[in-house]
Amino acid sequence: MACVPKLSQLSRFYVAASRRPSEPLQGRAARNSPISVLIFLVRISDIVLVSPLRVATAMFVANEKKANDWLGNDMRNMRFSGNNVVSILGMVVTLLLLFASVAFGADSATPTPTPAAAPAAPAIDYGLQIDRLWVLIAGALVFFMQAGFLALEAGLVRTRAAPITAMKNIGDWMVCAICFFFIGWATMFGHTAFGYLGSDGFSLSLDVSKGWPGGVWIHFLFQLAFAGTAATIVSGALAERTGFAAYMIVSAVATALIYPVFGHWAWGNSFFPDNKTLLTNIGFLDFAGSTVVHSVGGWISFIGIIIVGPRLGRFGPRGEVRPMNSNSIAMSALGVLILWLAWWGFNGGSTLALNDQVGSIINNTNLAAAMGGIGSLLHCAAFQRKRDITAKFLSGILGGLVGITAGCNLVSPANSLVIGFTSGMLSNIATELLLKWRLDDPVGAVPVHLFCGIWGTLCVGLFGDVSQFPNSHTRMDQIVVQLIGIGTCGLWTATTACIMFLVLKQMGLRVSPEEELEGYDIGGVVEQHAETVADDHVIVEKAGGYNLISMTKFLTMPAKERDRLMTSGTVRFIKGGKVLSPEEALSGIKPRGHLLVLEGMHVGRRIPIVANITKLGKTGENSAVINSTNDGRCSLQALGESNKAATVNGQPVPADGVPLRNGDIIELLDTRLQFVK
């Protein structure tokens, strides 16, 4: 420390160096200012260029006489002979010291009276600042989850849908940032109004007198990242067939209303412990959001895929699942790794302090993720014949992460292994269950976030440390409370999401069939990635959008309703992988009144009829003309015990079928028919 000069010594050096040779040192006090330093720099610039290292050395030794000698007489006769590197080093040191002097000012004694000492600054709570820094870093990791979800979803959807899927992930964050700032934060964390909603802090106009803590902006950013996660879950579930504008509305409603309202019920006492909210009052526990974040996003996704319907061609007429190739499994794997890392901040940062719990929480999170992947792999190989095993493997890892989120602070490492393993298996089971229900989730958002979120929340009661349960709950008490919280989340989120999607469906929730089949961007522009789909759907256009009706449902609806749809001009058909009007679909056929066309989809297989059914002239309400491309080689066969499903040219259809020829007239008595080639 002896070799490092005080600021007063540096100042005296500047004064000495800047005076004229004939000027006495008594005047140096007038030069002890930042301005004198600038004058000094101009006056000795040539000297600095000649020997910067010696000038810097004089500064550090603070030898006033030596500096005067060097800068006064001796330097006039010196010539540059030093090394370039040494010269540059000296210049850097000189400039750094100059900036330090300008920034801090000279502090040597001056003739002016010394002002009264300023009051001492308050002591800095370094522990608190470190805690806030940790929350900020954790929030940045949670924000990074947006990149993980983007890569995951863009990799799992088909190639033509990858660009718009990426744009939706960026768009929902923008919408979330605005909505949560103005409305969501206050609704979730403000002083409670009757235990249901926050009442202050809108637009973060926080009244310190009401008890809002310092550092609230850091906590806002952390919670904003959580809100963004809940919103972006939905984008994957509705991928490939939902419009950009409609999805932005979904994100806005989710982050301004659905998520913060339930968040207030579960976490509303985070800043104000005296907030008695709906679920905190009974002791509901969800440490980092298996239900608050993930189940909320999962419920919105679940209702969304029911209302918006499957992608065109995802399911056959009998419910068989048709494979759809992913864009890039490698990209999805990268997304999973990003999410895995970001989850360390998601769970570890929920302590809101860098305390002793952080390490164990992150370790439990990591173990559950690893076991989730193992559980999904083993279960899929043993019980699901390795169907979609790669995608299920990735979903299993995420399922383990979601499952551990609620109780990562209350369970042991051994229990975290169990939670992760069972979550991975549950993700597989839920994936197959959705397919059985003919629900199309392109990225597995519902199995991972809804099913595993429910399971993880329940695991708090099953595996958590009883001594940490609130209100002196026993294990069974806590399990019941957890079930109440899960049910409350489902009731609130499903109800509000259903209303939202039904309204959006009337406005235009889904993109046009052409855009869905060929690809689209934010502006709805059709791109050049056309793919064909099977001819098994009827499209009924509506104001602002359309309904997708399976051919089976269309065949079995009342004849009058079919007639109304056909005569309204709002019905179109998928034929040959293209969307056509009735006129285009029936081109080349001479119609007599309204026409029924039966077409086989797969040669050599028994398949349901693909048809446009309505009455034909005077022959009867359910009569139609048959068009057969293989004249004489097709037959119509009735299903079930009765053969009275239809008549051909007025004759009943025998059990073994009847040959069909162009121009044959069929009267449909029962629409449970099959077209046989």
Note the pLDDT of residue 407: 97
pLDDT in tens, 225-255: 999 999 999 999 999 999 999 999 999 999 9
Rounded Cα distance between 358 and 591, Å, is 74
Note the pLDDT of residue 316: 76
Range 202-230 average pLDDT: 85
> Hey, what are 57's tokens?
């050395």
Torsion of CA 198, 204, 208, 212, to 10 degrees: 50
**Where does residue 352 rank: exposed (0-12), middle (13-18), buried (19+ CB within 10 A)?**
middle
Note the pLDDT of residue 278: 94
Looking at the DSSP bridge assignments, the partners of residue 538 are 549, 573
Note the pLDDT of residue 22: 44
Q: Which residues contact 226 (CB under 8 A, 6 or more apart)?
A: 142, 289, 293, 346
pLDDT in tens, 62-86: 444 444 454 444 444 444 344 443 4
Across the chain, mean pLDDT equals 75
Note the pLDDT of residue 28: 42
More confident residue, 317 or 269: 269
Q: Which residues contact 448 (CB under 8 A, 6 or more apart)?
A: 294, 298, 395, 398, 399, 402, 427
pLDDT in tens, 270-279: 988 889 999 9
Res. 47: pLDDT tops 80 = no
More confident residue, 308 or 569: 308
Q: Which residues contact 454 (CB under 8 A, 6 or more apart)?
A: 290, 291, 295, 486
Res. 625: pLDDT tops 70 = no
More confident residue, 214 or 484: 484
pLDDT in tens, 473-524: 999 999 999 999 999 999 999 999 999 999 999 888 898 887 888 788 887 6
Which of 113-122, 416-425, 471-480, 489-498 has the lowest average pLDDT?
113-122
Q: Where does the pLDDT of residue 137 fall: very low under 50, low under 70, confident under 90, or very high at 90 and above?
A: very high
Range 555-577 average pLDDT: 63
Note the pLDDT of residue 322: 87
Res. 3: pLDDT tops 60 = no
CA distances for 41 relative to 14, 22, 48, 58, 504, angstroms = 9, 19, 9, 15, 69
Is residue 657 within 8 A of residue 587, CB to CB? The reply is no
pTM score above 0.75 = no
Note the pLDDT of residue 523: 75
Rounded Cα distance between 301 and 238, Å, is 7
Note the pLDDT of residue 630: 44
Q: Where does the pLDDT of residue 583 fall: very low under 50, low under 70, confident under 90, or very high at 90 and above?
A: low
Is residue 623 within 8 A of residue 665, CB to CB? The reply is yes
Taking each continuous run of H as one helix and of E as one strand, the counts in the chain are 24, 14
Going 103 to 104 to 109 to 115, the CA torsion angle's sign is positive
List the one residue out of 80, 48, 60, 83 whose CA is nearest residue 10: 60
Is residue 63 within 8 A of residue 9, CB to CB? The reply is no
Rounded Cα distance between 32 and 16, Å, is 10
Residue 237 per-residue DSSP state: H
Res. 265: pLDDT tops 60 = yes
List the one residue out of 207, 199, 203, 206 whose CA is nearest residue 182: 203
SS (H, E, C) 571-620: EEEEECCEEECHHHHCCCCCCCCCCCCCECCCCCCCEECECCCCCCCCCC
pLDDT in tens, 22-33: 444 444 444 444
Residues present in the chain in total: 677
